[in-house]
C-alpha cells in the first residue's frame, strides 16, 4: 500500500557543476559552492530561504573526517539545521530521500541537499576496495569492477549478442553524453567503431573493458526541495517527489551466476515501489529513466530488473534503440554514470536530470516529447538500490 504522505514535496532548484576529471582550480567547498549558487539562482531564492542543509559524499576518498564541518564555508549551512548522511554510491539518492522525508515531515519547509565528490584528490579504486572487509575481501576485491554481469549475459544470450548489446548501450550513452554540456566524458563514438571497440578496448576484468566502465569524476550536485505551499510560491514548475524506496543487502557478494530470476535489490525495489503505487507496466508508465549505470554490462542487465521484464525483452529494447533519447523509453538522456561519476553526487544527478526532463529545460539533451513521469535509480555498496519516482503533477 502506498503511504499517505504528510505533505507534498517539490524540487524547486537544481545546480550541477560541470563534471570533469580534474577540478584543480577549486577546493572542495569552492566546488560545492558553485553548485549551491546555481541551485539557488535556479530557484530564484537566497540562502536565507533555506531551513536545512543535507550533505553527503564518500569521505574516505578525500580522507576528510566529517567534511560537512569544513564545507560549511561553501554550503552556507551556517546557522541552519544540518544533517549528513552517507551510504556510498547511493549517497546522492539517499540525500534525496532524506530531503523528501525532512520536508514531508513538516519539520523543515525548504531543504537543500548537497552531494559531491572530488575523486582526483584520492585514489578511487583504492577507496572502493577499502569498503571490503579488512579481514578477508579486501585482499580480493578490485573496486567496483566485476565480470559477473558479462558472464551471466553471455551464458544466457550468447557471446555475440551479449557483447553487441553492451556496446550498443555504451554507444547510445555516449551519444546522449555528447548532447549534455555537463558530461565529463563524451567521445563522439559512432556505430562503425563498435566492432573495433569490442576487441581493442583494454580489458579490465574478463569481458569488462575500459570502454564499458564509468568515469571517475569531480563534481557537485545540489537540489532544493520545498513543501507544496512553498514550492508553488517559489516556482511554477515544481517537480514532485511521489515515492522512494531504499533496498540494501548484506555485504557478502553471492554468485550472480544464479541466473534470472534471481534476487536482486533492483528487482525487489521495483516490484515493491510500483506495486504500492499501482503501476503494473512501468515501461508504459514512465517517460524517462535516469538509471545509475556504473558499466554498460550492468546497464543492459538491470533494464530487465527495473522494468520487471522477462526473457530478452530488455536486450531487444537496446537492440531496437528504444532507449535512445527519441526512443520509446529514453534511458539516461544525460549520458548516465558512464559519462560522469562524481560518486557522492552521481545518484543525486540522476534525480536532478530526471527532474530537468520533467521541467522541460534540460538543455540540448531534452527528450523531444512531454515528460510527466520520471524514474531515477541509485546504486552502491554491495548491490544496493534506491529508486525514486518523480511527477510533473500531483496526480496520485
Partner 1 sequence: MNRRVAVCAVAQIKNEPDIWYQRFQGMLLECFESIVRQTGVTFDMEKGIRNVVTCSDDVFDARTISDNGVTDVVGAHFRGEEKMAQDGINGIGYAMSMILSGHDDLVLLMGHCKESQSESRRMCTNLAFDPFYCRPLGLDYRSACGLQARAYMKKSGVTDEHLGRVVVRARRNGNGNPYARKNAPVTETDVLDSPMICDPIRKLHEYPVTDWAMGMLLCSEERVHEFTDKPVWLTGFGNCMDSYFLGDRDLADSSALKKAAKRACAMAGVDDPKTAFDLVELNDAYAYQLPMWAEGVGIAPEGDGGKWIDADGMDAQRVNLSGGMLNGNPIMLGGLARALEAVLQLRGEAGDRQVNGARRALAHGNTGPAGQHHAVVILER
Partner 2 sequence: MGDYYGVNVGDIFGTMPSRFRPEGAAGIEAAFGYDIEGEGKWKLSVSGGKMYVEPVDDLSGCDVTLRTDGETFVGLNIGKVDGMQALTAGKMKMDGDFNTFAITGRMFLKFVPPGQTDKPEQELIALKRTISVNQRFATGPVMGKFLQNLREKKILAIKCPSCGRLQSPPREICAPCRVRNTDWVEIGPKGEMRMMEYCYYASPDPLTGETRETPYGAIGILLDGCKGEEVFWHLLRPDQLDKVKMGIVLGDKVVHGSRLRPVWAEDRKGSISDIKYFEMDE
> Rule CB under 8 A: which residues touch partner 2?
21, 24-25, 63, 123, 125-130, 133-143, 145-148, 151, 155-156, 185, 187-189, 193, 196-197, 200-206, 210-211, 249-250, 252-259
| C-alpha to C-alpha distances, 5 to 106, 194, 252, nearest whole angstrom | 11, 47, 35
Stretch of 81-89, 154-162, 326-334, 371-379 lying at the interface with partner 1 (CB under 8 A): 81-89
Cis peptide before 387 (omega within 30 of 0): no
Q: Closer CB to partner 1, residue 91 or residue 168? A: 91
17 lies in the site for partner 1, by CB under 8 A? no
Interface mask (CB under 8 A) for partner 1, residues 365-384, using x and -? ---------------xxx--
143 binds, among partner 2, partner 1, none (CB under 5 to 8 A by kind): partner 2
Name the minimum Å distance from CB 53 to partner 1: 7
> What is the rounded distance in angstroms from the CA atom of residue 180 to the CA atom of residue 183?
6
Rg (CA), the chain: 20
50 lies in the site for partner 1, by CB under 8 A? no
> What is the rounded distance in angstroms from the CA atom of residue 60 to the CA atom of residue 278?
40
Name the minimum Å distance from CB 63 to partner 1: 6
Name the minimum Å distance from CB 245 to partner 1: 7
Residues 259-288 touching partner 1, rule: CB under 8 A, are 263, 265, 268, 272
394 lies in the site for partner 1, by CB under 8 A? no
> What is the rounded distance in angstroms from the CA atom of residue 377 to the CA atom of residue 11?
17
> What is the rounded distance in angstroms from the CA atom of residue 101 to the CA atom of residue 66?
22
Name the minimum Å distance from CB 393 to partner 1: 20
Name the minimum Å distance from CB 297 to partner 1: 22
Question: Is there a contact between 292 and 350 (Cβ–Cβ < 8 Å)?
Answer: yes
Name the minimum Å distance from CB 63 to partner 2: 5
| C-alpha to C-alpha distances, 236 to 231, 240, 278, 298, nearest whole angstrom | 8, 12, 27, 37
Residues 167-226 touching partner 1, rule: CB under 8 A, are none
Q: Residue 112: which of 223, 206, 250, 268 has the closest Cα?
A: 223
Q: Are strands 110-118 and 218-227 parallel, antiparallel or unpaired?
A: antiparallel
Name the minimum Å distance from CB 149 to partner 2: 11
How many residues bind to partner 1 according to rule CB under 8 A?
68
| C-alpha to C-alpha distances, 68 to 36, 71, 75, 265, nearest whole angstrom | 14, 5, 8, 30
Taking phi first (over 0 means left), then psi (-120 to 50 degrees means alpha), and beta for anything else, what does residue 219 get? left
The helix/strand/coil state of 332 is: coil
199 binds, among partner 1, partner 2, none (CB under 5 to 8 A by kind): none
201 binds, among partner 1, partner 2, none (CB under 5 to 8 A by kind): partner 2
* Burial degree of 271 (CB within 10 A; 0-12, 13-18, 19+): middle
* Interface residues toward partner 1, by CB under 8 A: 1, 3-6, 27, 53, 56, 58-61, 63-73, 77-88, 94, 97-98, 100-107, 127-128, 130-131, 133-134, 244-252, 263, 265, 268, 272, 380-382
Amino acid at each position: 500500500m502506498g503511504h499517505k504522505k504528510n505533505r507534498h514535496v517539490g524540487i524547486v532548484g537544481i545546480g550541477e557543476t560541470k563534471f570533469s576529471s580534474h577540478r584543480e582550480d577549486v577546493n572542495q567547498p569552492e566546488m560545492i559552492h558553485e553548485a549551491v549558487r546555481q541551485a539557488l539562482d535556479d530557484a530564484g531564492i537566497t540562502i536565507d530561504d533555506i531551513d536545512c542543509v543535507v550533505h553527503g559524499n564518500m569521505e574516505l576518498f578525500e580522507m576528510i573526517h566529517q567534511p560537512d564541518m569544513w564545507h560549511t564555508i561553501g554550503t552556507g549551512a551556517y546557522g541552519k539545521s544540518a544533517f549528513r548522511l552517507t551510504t556510498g554510491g547511493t549517497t546522492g539518492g539517499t540525500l534525496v530521500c532524506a530531503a523528501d522525508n525532512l520536508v514531508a515531515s513538516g519539520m523543515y519547509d525548504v531543504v537543500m541537499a548537497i552531494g559531491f565528490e572530488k575523486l582526483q584528490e584520492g585514489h578511487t579504486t583504492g577507496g572502493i576496495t577499502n569498503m571490503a572487509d579488512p579481514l578477508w575481501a579486501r585482499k580480493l576485491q578490485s573496486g567496483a569492477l566485476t565480470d559477473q554481469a558479462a558472464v551471466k549475459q553471455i551464458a544466457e544470450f550468447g557471446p555475440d549478442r551479449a557483447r553487441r548489446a553492451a556496446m550498443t548501450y555504451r554507444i547510445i550513452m555516449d551519444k546522449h553524453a555528447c548532447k549534455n554540456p555537463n558530461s565529463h566524458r563524451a567521445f563522439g563514438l559512432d556505430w562503425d567503431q563498435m566492432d573495433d571497440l569490442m576487441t581493442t578496448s583494454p580489458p579490465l576484468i574478463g569481458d569488462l573493458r575500459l570502454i564499458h566502465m564509468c568515469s571517475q569524476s569531480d563534481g557537485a550536485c545540489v537540489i532544493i526541495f520545498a513543501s507544496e505551499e512553498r514550492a508553488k510560491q517559489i516556482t511554477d514548475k515544481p517537480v514532485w517527489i511521489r515515492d522512494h524506496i531504499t533496498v540494501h543487502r548484506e555485504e557478502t557478494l553471492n554468485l550472480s551466476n544464479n541466473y534470472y530470476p534471481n534476487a536482486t535489490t533492483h528487482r525487489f525495489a521495483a516490484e515493491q515501489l510500483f506495486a504500492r503505487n499501482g503501476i503494473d507496466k512501468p515501461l508504459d508508465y514512465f517517460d524517462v529513466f535516469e538509471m545509475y549505470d556504473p558499466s554498460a554490462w550492468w546497464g543492459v542487465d538491470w533494464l530487465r530488473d527495473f522494468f520487471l521484464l522477462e526473457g530478452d525483452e530488455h536486450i531487444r529494447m537496446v537492440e531496437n534503440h528504444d532507449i535512445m533519447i527519441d526512443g520509446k523509453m529514453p534511458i539516461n538522456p544525460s549520458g548516465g554514470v558512464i559519462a560522469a561519476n562524481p560518486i557522492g553526487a552521481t545518484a543525486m544527478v540522476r534525480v536532478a536530470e530526471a527532474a530537468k526532463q520533467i521541467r522541460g529545460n534540460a538543455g540540448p539533451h531534452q527528450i523531444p516529447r512531454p515528460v510527466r513521469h520520471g524514474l531515477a535509480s541509485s546504486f552502491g555498496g554491495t548491490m544496493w538500490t534506491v529508486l525514486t519516482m518523480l511527477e510533473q503533477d500531483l496526480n496520485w
